[in-house]
Structure 1
Amino acid sequence: MKIIAISGGSGSGKTTAAKQLQQFLGNDDCKILSQDNYYHDHSDKFSGDGSVNFDHPDAIDFHLMAQHLKLLSENKAVEVPIYDFVTHTRKKETIPFKPTKFIIVDGILILSQEILRPHFDFAIFIDIAEETRYSRRLKRDVEERGRHPEGVKIQFDSFVKPMHEMFVQPSRVFATHIAYDNNSLANLFEDLKKDFF
């Protein structure tokens, strides 16, 4: 088994890249594990105005995520939590997740976490300009997560940008590969495939 981390700022295209890499390696042999599933329940704090700092490591249950990566590396199945971004609750239901030949771990903060890094065989950091990342996040949060544009802007300026500078961008040094656009990602995928097969 190989575990591949894909990180970068919010809106950098991590999830799209993870799905592309999954197809590249083969859907039957590759699964994606997302940091987004591991948020703590924030329903008692969220007021819809961007008052919860989702971009700080404390918002995420990285200890559980590390336990799951350890179990998966031991060829054991896990139950992945489900986080509801509309109600900001962790659902009672879970997702059965069985080990596969390749596991891609997707998340903005995963490389910042010492508890996670030992589990990664490869780590890709997608380094995209802030303007592009913000426009993508605005579109996603409004269309997919029911947020108001004003709240998205407040959250980006108050939390996303400073947390990116404090935690996300510095974690770039822990990446084994850096990508700046789709072309460099495609080249990275080719390199990874040579290493894997």
Structure 2
Amino acid sequence: MSGAPGEQLTLAGTVRPIVIGIGGCSGSGKTTLARELANELNATLFPLDLYYRDLSQFPLDTRHKRNFDHPDSLESELILEHVAGLSRGETIERPVYDFSTHSRVPGRTDRVAPERFVIVEGILALHYPELLPLYTLTVYVDCSHEVCLTRRIYRDTRERGRTEESVREQFHATARPMADQFVLPSQANAALTVNGCEALDWSVEAVLGDLRRRSLL
């Protein structure tokens, strides 16, 4: 039994999921792109933000001061284990993360099964070297720091109850320095770069077009 061009088979003869990694700075539009592609492709969405390390051992009023933009803030070992499992067609038990307390919900997981497409998205999705071989396609969403900051202010003041001052402070203290150090260099790992400052439809079509050229769609 053989699959279509570009598809790999498991030992059981079934087609392995196609795993797409989407990275880019916070506010670049990568999450919006990932969600739109997930709808278009009926894909399993795998946000790295759900894998922040549990901070319940620290006082509640100090947890928000942690650097959430550094690679060490994510449990990369579990990310690798789960993405590898999904790429083999396996179902995983994903942790449930409570962003209000910066901790995982004890005893709770979400069962996630892979569809034909699995989309891994996050600012560091293209950073960890161990993840790269698991991707069928890698996409980087490029956008200027100025636009990213404007979007973060809009989002966080309306959806997360933060002040513009606090958003700007965090951006300049950790988000931008970590982006310069870890996220921007990961663009070199992308097979396709799209412009997150342009219309979403163009980015979606660029990814779908690339999948078609690879005979994956």
Q: When the two structures are superposed, what TM-score results if normalisation uses the length of structure 1?
A: 0.91
- Give the stretch that moved more between structures: 164-173 or 178-187: 178-187
Distance across 1 between alignment mates of 2:91 and 2:171 = 36
CA offset at residue 48 of structure 1?
Answer: 7.1
Question: In the alignment, what sits opposite 2:12?
Answer: none
Question: In the alignment, what sits opposite 1:81?
Answer: 95
- Give the stretch that moved more between structures: 83-92 or 157-166: 83-92
Matches within 5 A, 1:154-193: 154-180=169-195, 181-182=198-199, 183-193=202-212
Deviation track 1:97-122 (CA, whole Å, cap 9, x = no partner) reads 01211000010012111121111110
CA offset at residue 24 of structure 1?
Answer: 2.1
Q: Secondary structure at the match of 2:126?
A: helix
1:40 aligns with 2:53: yes
Displacement over 4 Å in runs of 4+: none
Distance 1:190 1:79, change over 3 A: same
Q: Which of 144, 148, 152 is 1:133 aligned to?
A: 148
Question: In the alignment, what sits opposite 2:3?
Answer: none
Deviation track 1:126-181 (CA, whole Å, cap 9, x = no partner) reads 00011111111122222223333322211110000000000000000000100013
CA offset at residue 22 of structure 1?
Answer: 1.4
Q: Which of 43, 51, 67 is 1:53 aligned to?
A: 67
Question: In angstroms, what is the RMSD of aligned CA positions?
Answer: 1.8
Matches within 5 A, 1:83-162: 83-92=97-106, 93-162=108-177
Q: Which structure is larger by alpha-carbon Rg, 1 or 2?
A: 2
Does the CA contact (< 8 Å) of 1:78 and 1:98 recur in 2? yes
Does the CA contact (< 8 Å) of 1:63 and 1:115 recur in 2? no
CA offset at residue 86 of structure 1?
Answer: 1.5
Distance across 2 between alignment mates of 1:113 and 1:194 = 26
- Give the stretch that moved more between structures: 84-93 or 103-112: 84-93
Q: Secondary structure at the match of 1:63?
A: helix
Question: In the alignment, what sits opposite 1:19?
Answer: 35
CA offset at residue 194 of structure 1?
Answer: 4.2
Distance 1:145 1:82, change over 3 A: farther
Distance across 2 between alignment mates of 1:109 and 1:45 = 27
Question: In the alignment, what sits opposite 2:81?
Answer: 67
Unpaired segments of 5 or more residues in structure 2?
Answer: 1-16
Give the AA of the match of 2:39: Q
Does the CA contact (< 8 Å) of 1:56 and 1:163 recur in 2? yes
Distance across 2 between alignment mates of 1:5 and 1:90 = 24
Q: When the two structures are superposed, what TM-score results if normalisation uses the length of structure 2?
A: 0.83
Does the CA contact (< 8 Å) of 1:50 and 1:155 recur in 2? no
Aligned residues: 194
Question: In the alignment, what sits opposite 2:9?
Answer: none
Distance across 1 between alignment mates of 2:161 and 2:22 = 26
Q: Secondary structure at the match of 2:100?
A: coil
